Amino acid sequence: MKINAKNLLACVVVSTALFSCQKENKTPSTTTSGISSEVISQIQAQGFSTDGIIKVDGGYVVENDIFLSTEGLTKAMSVGPELRVPDEEQYHTTNLITALPRTITIAVTGLDAIWTAATDSAVARYNALNLRLKLQRVASGAAITVTGADLGGGGVLGQSSGFPDINGNPPNKITINSRPGTFGTNPSVQWLATIIAHEVGHTIGFRHTDYANRNYSCGFSFPRNEGDGGVGAIWIPKTPKGPKDPGSWMLACTDGTNRPFNPNDITALRYLYK
């Protein structure tokens, strides 16, 4: 997740952070020009944009905020329809969480206590909707672990390790940028809860609301269109096709404020998991 360029100019905090997934910045990264054509083809085959691929430990970061493991690139993924619709609505991937009703457990490790409070708040937001998909925070042994790593100073706030797999299970990790100063000196628990809720959104199959035009929430972003490819960018019925949706929790970039689920978000969540 990122804070858009306008807010970046206005804030002391370094934050153009994208609401989703990014790299561990502990090894030198390269751009697409330094990545093999085989890897580029694998990324393209899985439905992601091949603009600005970044090599990181264990895999690659695509679309600025989605981590793809080297192992995962070699595995077949379920592919589905590509629906071309307007720029700002709710979208889901072809693979979703299955075996419903189901409870997905989440643990927080190696982070300050505020992140445990934020995760509890994010969990409560989902569970308040009485979906067939429940969340539960546990101390250890969770399906999804929220952990910290230095994701660099480029403004990335958090990183999901992907979308649901072909078996209907979520990816196993959400990484929060632990670089000092990323979130300022006194961040709001509810803003951090929004970041966690957004990353959880990816793990259960939500694409960015403005995936086709990230300039909407980011001010400026390259590539502007993340691409929909074969993993699916499938419009969720009854979410808006016309007006902009500035409050959605799945917009690519944040303005640094709390974003609880708005009516369109709730419609989308209930459509998939009620």
Among 21-25, 129-133, 152-156, 233-237, the range scoring the smallest mean pLDDT is 21-25
Domain holding 99, by residue range, is 2-273
- pLDDT score recorded for residue 54: 86
- pLDDT score recorded for residue 245: 77
Q: How much of the chain exceeds pLDDT 90, in percent?
A: 46
Among 40-44, 146-150, 195-199, the range scoring the smallest mean pLDDT is 40-44
pLDDT digits (tens, 9 = 90+) for 198-211: 999 999 999 988 87
Q: How much of the chain exceeds pLDDT 70, in percent?
A: 75
Check whether 91 has a pLDDT greater than 60: yes
Cis amide bond preceding 180, omega within 30: no
Q: Please, are residues 142 and 107 in contact by the beta-carbon 8 Å criterion? A: yes
- Name the domain count of the chain: 1
Check whether 131 has a pLDDT greater than 90: yes
